[in-house]
């Protein structure tokens, strides 16, 4: 069975950036597709310092599943 993607990597990255930009400065993202889920890793900077955030996005709906 082939997993269908309704959103592409660019859209997944934009969803993650828009979400993270509410509280962080976002720079340097990497996006990959795993088991029907987009995983976007973003380098962020906030008042508490620099970190890497991982955002999991459902490929069919664009819904954010989890932020780590």
* pLDDT at position 56: 99
- Model-level pTM? 0.89
**Domain count within the chain:** 1
23 assigned to some structural domain = yes
* pLDDT at position 1: 52
Between CA 23 and CA 16 the distance in angstroms is 12
18 assigned to some structural domain = yes
* pLDDT at position 54: 98
> The tokens 């660019």 sit on which residue?
10
Query: Which CATH number belongs to the domain containing residue 19 in this structure?
Result: 3.10.450
51 assigned to some structural domain = yes
* pLDDT at position 17: 98
3 assigned to some structural domain = no
> Which residues in the chain show pLDDT less than 50?
none
* pLDDT at position 2: 58
Which stretch of DSSP H or E encloses residue 46? Answer: strand 37-46
48 assigned to some structural domain = yes
List own/partner pairs for 31-39 with CB under 8 A and 24 or more apart.
Answer: 33/5, 33/9, 33/59, 35/3, 36/3, 36/60, 37/65, 38/7, 38/9, 38/12
44 assigned to some structural domain = yes
Three-class DSSP category at 65: strand
Q: Look up the domain containing 36 and give its range.
A: 9-67
């Amino acid at each position: 069975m082939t997993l269908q993607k309704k959103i592409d990597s660019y859209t997944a990255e934009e969803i993650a950036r828009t979400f993270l930009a509410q509280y962080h400065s976002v720079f340097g993202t990497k996006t990959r597709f795993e088991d029907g889920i987009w995983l976007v890793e973003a380098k962020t900077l906030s008042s508490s310092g620099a970190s890497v955030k991982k955002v999991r996005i459902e490929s069919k709906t664009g819904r954010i599943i989890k932020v780590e």
